[in-house]
Amino acid sequence: MPPPAASSFNGLIELLDALNCGAFLIDRSGRIEHANDRLCQMLGLNRPQVIGRSAESFYDAPDAAEYIHSRLANFEEPYEGEFHLPGPDKNKIPVIMSGRPLGTEPPLSNYRLVTVIDLTGQKAAEAQAQEEYEVISRLSDTVLAQALELKRYNQKLEEKVRERTRELHDANMEAIYMLAVASEAKDVDTGAHVRRIEHYTTLLARQLGLPDHVAEEFGYSSILHDVGKMVVPDHILKKPGPLDMAEREAMQLHCIAGERILSQKPFFATARQIARSHHENWDGSGYPDGLLGEAIPLPARIVHLADIYDALTSERVYKASWTPQMATETIYKAGGSLFDPNVVTAFRTLHESGQFTPPHAQD
Ligand SMILES: [Fe+2]
């Protein structure tokens, strides 16, 4: 095919040489009419080694020849796509090739301009990004695995702490029961009495609307309400008849003694209140401080009722046990004098619904 007229070509060649990307002119047969400096650099050849050769001759692979043929067969059709150039040392240079017809009239219509943009840097950046992504992905997996391991470790640790706390709580409760039984052993009844008081106290506290953990705390704190009886002489504790004034005073000391015996630790704070104030009356006629109404700590007001109810319904050396009905009537009547009216109301509700029964009847 004859080359285009020099006048229509010269300006174009100068323009192609000024481009920052590779560019060449190719005719319908696939012969390279012109190649700019940038393209020659990419191929590692000088211009005479490029011009006049067919595009296909630069490639060994059959699929490359097929690609070039298909582009030449559609000569007027613009195209753009990723391809590769045979670089120096037979390496493949990734490129984007864009082909456009030069014009619609001969001779320019017999040539097309192809620009070639080197993607090597972009591909390297993509490969680096992919590698970084894989590193981050592996690190994420490691961090995730470590986080899961840490979570499992924390769960084990929490379970151990819970277990240890349960053991400590159980040991505390055992010590409380042992101390209570030791002090009650001097009295007529033994451990059964304190377990009933614990049960009644918890029931009443719940009925008064206190949260479960508070009701349970009131319950186990009530167990030691009479621990101060350790200091009361046996002949007074076990006297079958009424006590005289001096004996009564000695007996009443068990409240203050109980508070002193109990530890200052927070765990025993409620137990100390109960030990001191479980014989205070709502109307201020109780002992040891003659406290009135709400000045009496609530757990002590509850234990006061539970203790009297249990004393009435239990057998003593000086009396037979009362029926629950008799004891209940007495409690009802003592609301506002001996007992906090609210605690009596809670007791009445529990009694009338059949819930105020000794612990063994519940099991
Ligand atoms: Fe008491």
Domain identity same for 295 and 180: no
Name which residue leads in pLDDT, 190 or 86: 86
Q: Which domain holds residue 135?
A: 121-184
Compute the average pLDDT of residues 295-317. Answer: 92
Domain identity same for 144 and 244: no
The answer to whether residue 1 is domain-embedded is: no
Read off the pLDDT band of 77 (50, 70, 90). Answer: confident
Helix (H, G, I), strand (E, B) or coil at 363: coil
Q: What pLDDT is recorded for position 340?
A: 97
Domain identity same for 114 and 126: no
Q: What pLDDT is recorded for position 186?
A: 59
- The CA 230 to ligand 1 mean position distance, Å, reads 11
Name which residue leads in pLDDT, 19 or 340: 340
Domain identity same for 86 and 141: no
Compute the average pLDDT of residues 327-350. Answer: 95
Domain identity same for 71 and 110: yes
Q: What pLDDT is recorded for position 297?
A: 98
Helix (H, G, I), strand (E, B) or coil at 112: strand
Domain identity same for 144 and 291: no
* CATH code of the domain in which 295 resides: 1.10.3210.10
Domain identity same for 212 and 358: yes
Q: What are phi and psi of 288, to 5 degrees?
A: -90, -10
Domain identity same for 128 and 33: no
Name which residue leads in pLDDT, 210 or 62: 210
The answer to whether residue 199 is domain-embedded is: yes
Residue 254 and residue 274: Cα distance in Å, rounded? 12
- The CA 260 to ligand 1 mean position distance, Å, reads 14
Q: What pLDDT is recorded for position 185?
A: 62
Q: Indicate the residue among 118, 138, 168 that finishes a domain.
A: 118
pLDDT, tens digit, for every residue of 230-254?
889 988 888 888 889 999 999 999 9
- The CA 205 to ligand 1 mean position distance, Å, reads 19
Say whether pLDDT at 188 is over 70.
Answer: no
Name which residue leads in pLDDT, 134 or 187: 134
Q: What pLDDT is recorded for position 318?
A: 65
The answer to whether residue 235 is domain-embedded is: yes
- Take residue 72 and report the two structure tokens written for it: 């030449």
Compute the average pLDDT of residues 258-281. Answer: 92
Q: What pLDDT is recorded for position 336?
A: 94
- Cβ partners under 8 Å of residue 347, min gap 6: 204, 207, 305, 309, 328, 331, 356
Q: What pLDDT is recorded for position 258?
A: 92
Compute the average pLDDT of residues 195-204. Answer: 95
Domain identity same for 135 and 246: no
- The CA 67 to ligand 1 mean position distance, Å, reads 106
- Take residue 343 and report the two structure tokens written for it: 């605690």
The answer to whether residue 164 is domain-embedded is: yes
- The CA 363 to ligand 1 mean position distance, Å, reads 27
- The CA 254 to ligand 1 mean position distance, Å, reads 7
- Take residue 242 and report the two structure tokens written for it: 């009424």
The answer to whether residue 323 is domain-embedded is: yes
- The CA 278 to ligand 1 mean position distance, Å, reads 6
* CATH code of the domain in which 62 resides: 3.30.450.20
Residue 290 and residue 297: Cα distance in Å, rounded? 12
Compute the average pLDDT of residues 31-40. Answer: 92
Asked whether the whole model's pTM tops 0.75, one would answer no
Residue 16 and residue 14: Cα distance in Å, rounded? 5
Q: Indicate the residue among 184, 204, 234 that finishes a domain.
A: 184
- The CA 182 to ligand 1 mean position distance, Å, reads 15
Domain identity same for 137 and 112: no
311-342: string of b/e by CB count within 10 Å (b at 16+)? bbbbeeeeeeebeeeebbeebeebbeebbbeb
What does the DSSP assignment read for 228-277? GGGGS-HHHHT-SS---HHHHHHHHHHHHHHHHHS-SSGGGHHHHHHHHH
Amino acid sitting at position 15:
L
Q: Indicate the residue among 67, 94, 118 that finishes a domain.
A: 118
Lowest-confidence pick of 4-8, 157-161, 168-172: 4-8
Q: Which of 104, 97, 106 is nearest to 76 (CA)?
A: 104
- The CA 257 to ligand 1 mean position distance, Å, reads 11
Q: What pLDDT is recorded for position 362?
A: 44
Domain identity same for 268 and 289: yes
Say whether pLDDT at 363 is over 80.
Answer: no
Number of structural domains (the chain) is 3
Domain identity same for 303 and 204: yes
- The CA 30 to ligand 1 mean position distance, Å, reads 116
Q: What are phi and psi of 4, to 5 degrees?
A: -65, 165
